[in-house]
Amino acid sequence: MQMPSCEYSVRRDSPNGPTLTFANVGDTVYHVWECNPTDMGMLVKKCFVTDGDGEDHAVIDYDGCSTDASLLSELAYDQNLMRAHATSQVRALRRKTNFSLARKNFESFPYA
């Protein structure tokens, strides 16, 4: 089995829009997570933002759910479970993200 290759990007206009090189505070942006190959399913979880004091705050919890829709929308997954996106308003915070992968035929994968 080939190890997955994953990417995180921030885009403008839509989840398929151009990758951002800059944005203004208050702009709507699209956070996109995508992995290959497609014989697996992806679950984005444990995402944090860091405030100006260096404190981490979860925006996606350990189960892959948004902790506060005013900070980050719930994630929407594509049909093959290897691409997800969420929207947010630009804020002056840093992000940390983790991915979980499972084979698609793995019976306990909750999003298959």
Residue ranges per structural domain of the chain: 5-103
Pick the CATH number of 5-103 from 2.60.40.4100, 3.40.225.10, 3.20.20.150, 2.60.40.10: 2.60.40.4100
Question: What's the one-letter identity of residue 84?
Answer: A
pLDDT at 111: 46
Mean pLDDT in residue range 6-27: 92
* pLDDT score for 109: 44
End-to-end alpha carbon distance in the chain: 19
What does the alpha-carbon distance between residue 108 and residue 66 come to, in Å, rounded to a whole number? 21
How confident is the model over 61-112, as pLDDT tens digits?
999 999 999 889 999 999 888 999 999 998 765 555 555 555 554 444 444 4
pLDDT by residue (tens digit) across 26-57?
899 999 999 887 678 889 999 888 777 778 88
Question: Which candidate, 42, 59, 53, 51, places its Cα nearest to that of 97?
Answer: 59
- Residue 99 CB-half CA count within 13 A: 20
